[in-house]
Structure 1
Amino acid sequence: MTVLRVAAAQLGTGRDPVANLRLATDAVRRAADAGAELIALPEATLACFGSDLRAVAEPLDGPFATGLRKVAADLGVVVVAGLFEPAADGRVHNTLLATGPGVEASYRKIHLYDAFGSRESDLVAPGNEIVPFDFGGAVIGLSTCYDLRFADQFSALGRAGAELVVVPASWGAGPGKEDQWDLLTRARAADAQAWLLACGQAYAPPSGTDPLGIGRSALITPTGHAVARLSASADLLLGAVDTEVVAAVRSAVPILAVPILAVPILAVPIL
């Protein structure tokens, strides 16, 4: 059995990576002081959407990632945060960096937000691999924001052994979006049969761009129950992840052990 103390640092980041790094490191320190061992920051912690993503993008050995590595190493914690790195085709990757003692992993967002009138793929190149990593006796998976709408990705993480999935997000506000976020975070935890720690950008009134977050960071059990949830404003969520719960759920309802079926699609004539 592993019990991992986790935190979601719900922030509202701006367009200045230097200021955002200060904001992020301060939040990591507060979470570590509160006992967290793994600390999630939002998608786009480097710079918010609406920034010139090509101009702010940095490689994974750039100053922003290096600053996160330093605070994680100094405090002996793992930090998961969203940033943008240059892509080979001139776009950028929407990347999660996980870093800390014994951990160095990165995940490039697979499903891009081409929805509700937005076109993330105009500026962002997709990734193509799921990413689990080991930390503290647990297997951790990574996903980002719009990935929540794709159940197969979370089932695949569960089959890869993930006992906790960390989901940084910048979930745009709009009619029904809070309900959709709540539903999808709960459903994807149940699909993976894993704990799910979702960390969103805090809500701020729009200023020249659409709202970049709704808050509502949450810790969800492997059966889809929200044991903790924040409101819209900047805040810190703290919780504990018990991997024994994961094992019990997967034993009682062994859906991940069932082979994936290729179901034929039948053409039905229209009469």
Structure 2
Amino acid sequence: MRIALAQILSGTDPEANLQLVREYADTAADEGARLVVFPEATMCRFGVPLSPIAEPVDGPWATSVRQIAAESDITVIAGMFTPADGGRVTNTLIAAGPGTPNRPDTHYHKIHLYDAFGFTESRTVAPGHQPVVVDVDGVAVGLTICYDIRFPALYTELARRGAQLITVCASWGSGAGKLEQWTLLARARALDSMSYIAAAGQADPGDTLASSKAPTGVGGSLVASPLGETVAAAGTRQQLLVADIDVDNVAAARDNLAVLRNHSHFVQLDRAESRG
């Protein structure tokens, strides 16, 4: 399968960002990709109030993404924000394939919220709870968002649910060592899950958002193999990264390095049995 990662730089206008989705999806399809992965917060960048921007997954913005997928004949995964209770939003991925109706047509709500490095996502964002795997041209694709990447158990769970390729859509926070952490974590999660990882991040906005504490991107999108090798990697600026993956390598890796089968249960501190 040929896949594409759209390392874009979202602004604060959802309509303008939708035009980026259309342009990059068209280009990805022209280059033979069957899947194009956009970053977290494709709909609107972080650093501005998100509640006025949020729309339901059957709202106009998501509907337009579905139309783009159908017209470009490519599956599109992109980050958006949907309304939640208490004035918060959910940090959501929409996955929309070609066809009428779209196949696949589903969404994922970010499970792990970014309450770290001085940013508190949970103040404005409600968590999701359900891992999601979708079928894209016969390939099982897991969906994750940004801070999820620091939690290996989600990736092994997605692998146990059949995922061969796991996408990570991010708007990674900047700072000392953060870009290196992002690329290291992507390769580590590939090894944990014995899956391909497609990690699509926002481009680095540079000095234009230097005063913002919000995570607005560092670039560094990459595709990692099930053995943690870098298949393709982007720089810091906006670009479309295209890579070919062979899902037969997933089965071979899982046979040779059977970490999923070899996993053993052990007593956890918060689940310890009573000594009676």
TM range (shorter): over 0.9
1:47 to 21, 44, 47: 44
Alignment partners' CA distance in 2, 1:221 and 1:247:
12
- Taking only aligned residues, the RMSD between alpha carbons, in angstroms, comes to 1.5
Alignment partners' CA distance in 2, 1:51 and 1:61:
23
Confirm whether residue 157 of structure 1 aligns to residue 158 of structure 2: yes
The Cα shift of 1:260 comes to: 4.4
Confirm whether residue 70 of structure 1 aligns to residue 40 of structure 2: no
Alignment partners' CA distance in 1, 2:157 and 2:30:
34
1:96 to 93, 97, 103: 93
Alignment partners' CA distance in 1, 2:251 and 2:174:
35
> Aligned with 1:143: secondary structure?
strand
Alignment partners' CA distance in 1, 2:83 and 2:234:
32
Normalized against structure 2, the TM-score is what? 0.92
Alignment partners' CA distance in 2, 1:120 and 1:192:
26
- Give the unaligned 5+ runs of structure 2: none
Alignment partners' CA distance in 1, 2:65 and 2:39:
13
2:147 counterpart residue number: 146
Deviation digits for residues 100-157 of structure 1 (CA, Å, limit 9, x no counterpart): 1320121100000000000000000000010001121110000000001001110111
Confirm whether residue 209 of structure 1 aligns to residue 212 of structure 2: yes
Alignment partners' CA distance in 2, 1:259 and 1:36:
35
Deviation digits for residues 216-255 of structure 1 (CA, Å, limit 9, x no counterpart): 1000000111111000000010011211000000111122
Alignment partners' CA distance in 1, 2:199 and 2:192:
15
Letter in 2 for 1:117: G
1:230 counterpart residue number: 234
Deviation digits for residues 185-236 of structure 1 (CA, Å, limit 9, x no counterpart): 0001111110000100000122542361010100000011111100000001
- Give the unaligned 5+ runs of structure 1: none
The Cα shift of 1:259 comes to: 4.8
1:126 counterpart residue number: 127
Equivalence map 1:1-271=2 (5 Å): 4-101=1-98, 102-204=103-205, 205=207, 206=209, 208-210=211-213, 212-265=216-269
Alignment partners' CA distance in 2, 1:51 and 1:5:
35
Q: Higher mean Cα deviation, 15-24 or 120-129?
A: 15-24
Number of matched pairs: 264
Alignment partners' CA distance in 1, 2:241 and 2:125:
29
Alignment partners' CA distance in 2, 1:62 and 1:241:
33
Normalized against structure 1, the TM-score is what? 0.94
Letter in 2 for 1:209: S
Alignment partners' CA distance in 2, 1:15 and 1:262:
47
The Cα shift of 1:31 comes to: 1.0
What is the percentage of aligned positions where both structures have the same residue? 45
CA contact (8 A) 2:142 2:158 kept: yes
